[in-house]
Amino acid sequence: MGEVSGKEGSEMARNDGADGTCENWELTKDTLLEDQTPRKANKREVLSLLTSSPQRAVVLLALLLTLSFVFLMALTIANIQRVSALREELERAQLQDKQSHATAWHNLSQVQHALDTQLLAKLQAIHSRLLNVSREVEGAQRDVARCREQCGKELSDRVRALEERDELQPALQQLEELRQEQSQLSTRLSTALEETQNLTEMFCTRCPAGWQQFAKTCYYFSTEKKSWVEARAACSMLGAQLAIVDSEMENKFLANHIMEIRVFWLGLSDMHREGDWQWLDGRALSLSFWRSGEPNNVGQHGEDCATVSSSGLWNDATCTNPEAWICERSC
């Protein structure tokens, strides 16, 4: 009996524990069901609301669209205002830039006008000075020419008087002294004339009166006659030299200004060595227009100086012969 009672007690205890567990599970399940029940109810209410009243849904959708449209319009207007403000600022900046450019050009024009005025005044002053210097140079050349003419005449008279004397040896000695004096005087005059010629070349703007121009050279055709040496000195007094022919065109130009019955000295000779023709500037003869059979160096004293005629052909002649001459100088 006691054992039976103990077994029954243990079985009852197990049953009680099982029943407690079952009760707890039931409570938990009921709780979960209670939590899910409102959610299902809410969904049902919404579905029922949508199905039961479609007009309300349409109104709600229209309201949402209206709000979205208003928001977009407000955003668009704000962007348009920003763009307008930026455009106005850009236009103001462009206007200021144009105004600054106009001001700068105006100032630059005023400065350029002032500089042009000052430069014109300086150029006028320089031109006036050049004219004064040119007049002074021409006056000096005329004075030197007069001096040379007087001195040459005096020396020629003395030489002529000495040649007429019977005492030959003393006369020759005096003649040599006179020639030395004449050479020294010619050297001094040539130096002075070279200096004036340099000034003339600096300020020469046109050929002097009585001179003929060809290219950039002025030519003087004499109307009187002298020996070759005297003709060379006469050209030096004028700040020039006996003509030097550099081209066929220049030779034709000289021939066209020569009268048919006259010949003119050129700055060409072979005084230093027979047959070695050289120009006054030291250049050897490279282009020539000799007449047929010339140069022939005939005569007792020889022919060491060259002349040109109206035909443009050259001839060698005795240097002491009186002939007209041609001077040339740059301009």
Please compute the mean of the pLDDT values over residues 170-197 and round it to a whole number: 73
Write the single-letter amino acid at 263. V
pLDDT at 142 over 90: no
Segment 271-284 mean pLDDT: 94
Say whether pLDDT at 40 is over 60.
no
The mean pLDDT value of the chain amounts to 78
Q: Is residue 119 pLDDT above 70, yes or no?
A: no
CATH architecture of the domain covering 208-331 = Roll (3.10)
pTM above 0.75, yes or no: no
Average pLDDT over residues 218-232: 96
Higher pLDDT, 86 or 143: 86
* CA dihedral sign of residues 281, 286, 288, 292: positive
- Is the model's pLDDT at 126 over the cut of 60? yes
Angstrom distances, CA of residue 111 to CA of 106, 114, 117, 121, 123: 9, 5, 10, 16, 18
User: Could you give the C-alpha distances from 78 to 74, 84, 175, 260, in angstroms and in order?
Assistant: 6, 10, 119, 104
Q: Residue 4 has what pLDDT? A: 38
Is the pLDDT confidence value at 120 over 90? no
Using DSSP, state whether 43 is helix, strand or coil. Answer: helix
What is the average per-residue pLDDT within 248-275? Answer: 93
Compute CA distances 228 → 123, 158, 275, 318, whole Å.
44, 20, 18, 9
Instruction: Flag the least confident range among 55-69, 129-143, 229-243.
Output: 129-143
In terms of average pLDDT, the best of 104-118, 130-144, 221-235 is 221-235
Packing angle, helices 228-237 and 54-163, rounded to 10: 140
pLDDT of residue 59: 87
The pLDDT of residue 180 is above 90: no
Confidence label for 96 from pLDDT (cuts 50, 70 and 90)? confident
According to the model, what pLDDT value does residue 166 have?
Answer: 53
The confidence score (pLDDT) of residue 248 equals 96
> How many CB atoms are closer than 10 A to CB 219?
19
Is-contact 254 308, C-beta < 8 A? yes
Q: How many Å is the maximal CA-CA distance in the chain? A: 213
Q: Could you tell me which of 36, 331, 24, 70 has the C-alpha nearest to residue 207?
A: 331
Partners of 268 in the beta sheet?
Answer: 279
For residue range 244-256, list pLDDT tens digits in order: 999 999 999 999 9
Question: Mean pLDDT across the stretch 53-64?
Answer: 84
Q: Is the pLDDT of residue 292 over 60?
A: yes
What is the residue extent of each domain of the chain? 115-205, 208-331
pLDDT higher than 60, residue 208 = yes
Judged against a pLDDT cut of 90, whether residue 284 lies above it is answered with: yes
The answer to whether 184 touches 178, Cβ cutoff 8 Å, is: no
